[in-house]
Amino acid sequence: MTDNRIPVARPPLAVDDLEALRPAFESGWITMGPAVQEFEAAVARVAGAEAVATTSATSAMHLALLAWGIGPGDEVIVPAYTFVASAHAVAQTGATPVFCDVDPRTMNIDASVAAAAVTTRTRAIMAVHLFGTPAPIDALRQVCSTHDLWLLEDAACALGSSLHDTPCGALGDAAAFSFHPRKVITTGEGGMLTSGDADLLVRARAQRNHGAGMSAFDRHQLGIGVYPSFDLLGFNYRLTDLQARLGLAQMARLDAILAERRRQAARYAETLGGIEGLVLPSLPAGAVSCWQSFAVQIRGRSRTAVQDHLAAAGISAVESCQLVPALGYYATRSGYVAGTFPAAEALARDALSIPLFVGLAESDQERVVVGLREAMTAVAVAA
Ligand SMILES: Cc1ncc(COP(=O)(O)O)c(C=O)c1O
């Protein structure tokens, strides 16, 4: 049976990437060895800052917040419309995520609302580059310097994105990338912390590895046969060499991956314009996106009905993100009251991600365009 359904995403893996694992098998270094260091260097070149590999973007953000001494009694401002992990990274330190509304056009944090949310307990602002769209860094920087706050980029979705020629990853005081399969490149699971802050990097390197001041690989290289002293509380946030080798194989074709994603996004922008009720994603001035996700907004119609119509045509389309303060864990803790975050609430109701991935055939993209046009006509406008 052939399945001609179009998925919303596919990881950019090539069968040849299997071969990239061979040196790990041959050398016996399968975790935190030379490939992790090479992968860190490869991501650092793209992100424009030094890099520390971790198990996920969430663990990378956790390490950055801990390095800044953020914990119980502190607040970190987080956009209300994002993936839950942005808030979880804050909550994991014992600090409180304070939610803030977003700009309905860019879907990213609204810097003026963030400024109004600052209290004496605020320690940091999280700039989420949602779907690869750079957050309004200049305005957020201004708020951070006025109130002496850290600026953390949640760049989970933003490998290869940039703002005014500075890459996401080098726009804040630290940044976190994700290599989950829905991201621009994937290691299955995995993440990377980037920063220009030498102290933060030293702490993060130790804390990702149970608090060890030196990795087993470095001890091996130096012929040191005793354990290091464990001066910090740590975690097992280590990326394996197997994952790093997969990541390196994709990093070698990152330019082609990004070009393909941008070509597909441009094609959607050309062919989906002017459809009543369909709002296309928009980038701020000076922004370049990696288009981790192409999130349209369905206005005046039921998003579910549009999804159902697409599904009947064999096209997957998924809710783009969520209203985090209203989610189970946060609903009571955040004291959420409906109507508090009008833009985020509208996006949670309306935003829909349509297929965009390396390997999406032009004819399939055309099917998506036709399917979405038909769905917008077929689904009744809400009274
Ligand atoms: C905006 C955002 N932040 C954080 C994360 C978490 O990334 P990870 O699963 O690597 O921790 C994701 C993943 O989907 C995300 O989209």
Quick: pLDDT tens for 7-36.
999 999 999 899 999 999 999 999 999 999
The whole-number average pLDDT for the span 128-135 is 98
CA distances, 300 to each of 43, 75, 310, 328, 345 (Å): 42, 36, 17, 27, 14
180 CB near ligand 1 (under 6 Å): yes
The whole-number average pLDDT for the span 226-246 is 95
pLDDT for residue 341: 98
On the question of pLDDT at 275 being above 90, the answer is yes
On the question of pLDDT at 85 being above 70, the answer is yes
CB 61 within 8 A of CB 52: no
The whole-number average pLDDT for the span 272-298 is 97
Q: Which among 116, 118, 128 has a CA at the least distance from the CA of 84?
A: 128
% of the chain with per-residue pLDDT over 70: 99
% of the chain with per-residue pLDDT over 90: 94
For a ligand 1 pocket test, name from 8, 55, 58 the mutation site with the most ligand atoms within 8 angstroms of its C-beta: 58
Band of residue 185 on the pLDDT scale cut at 50, 70, 90 = very high
For a ligand 1 pocket test, name from 180, 192, 193, 353 the mutation site with the most ligand atoms within 8 angstroms of its C-beta: 180
User: What is the atom index within ligand 1 of the atom nearest the CA of 180?
Assistant: 10
116 is catalytic: no
56 CB near ligand 1 (under 6 Å): yes
- Specify the DSSP element, H or E, that contains 96: strand 96-100
Q: What whole-number distance in Å separates Cα of residue 309 and Cα of residue 40?
A: 43
Q: What whole-number distance in Å separates Cα of residue 146 and Cα of residue 366?
A: 48
Q: Which residues contact 216 (CB under 8 A, 6 or more apart)?
A: 32
CB 158 within 8 A of CB 134: yes
Q: What whole-number distance in Å separates Cα of residue 208 and Cα of residue 58?
A: 12
82 CB near ligand 1 (under 6 Å): yes
Alpha-carbon dihedral sign for residues 292, 298, 304, 306: negative
107 CB near ligand 1 (under 6 Å): no
137 Cα to the center of ligand 1, angstroms: 19
10 Å Cβ neighbour count for 70? 21
378 Cα to the center of ligand 1, angstroms: 34
The whole-number average pLDDT for the span 78-106 is 98
The span from the first CA to the last CA of the chain, in angstroms, equals 42
The whole-number average pLDDT for the span 110-123 is 98
Band of residue 215 on the pLDDT scale cut at 50, 70, 90 = confident
Q: Which among 133, 253, 241, 254 has a CA at the least distance from the CA of 187?
A: 241
- Specify the DSSP element, H or E, that contains 166: strand 166-167
129 Cα to the center of ligand 1, angstroms: 11
58 CB near ligand 1 (under 6 Å): yes
Catalytic-role residue among 182, 183, 261, 301: 183
128 CB near ligand 1 (under 6 Å): yes
CB 282 within 8 A of CB 105: yes
On the question of pLDDT at 383 being above 80, the answer is no
User: What is the atom index within ligand 1 of the atom nearest the CA of 179?
Assistant: 10
pLDDT for residue 1: 44
CB 27 within 8 A of CB 235: no
The whole-number average pLDDT for the span 348-371 is 98
CA distances, 237 to each of 68, 191, 193, 208, 234 (Å): 18, 9, 11, 4, 9
57 CB near ligand 1 (under 6 Å): yes
84 Cα to the center of ligand 1, angstroms: 8
- Quote the mean pLDDT of the chain: 96
Question: Which DSSP letter does residue 131 get?
Answer: G
10 Å Cβ neighbour count for 85? 22
pTM (two decimals)? 0.97
106 Cα to the center of ligand 1, angstroms: 18
219 Cα to the center of ligand 1, angstroms: 32
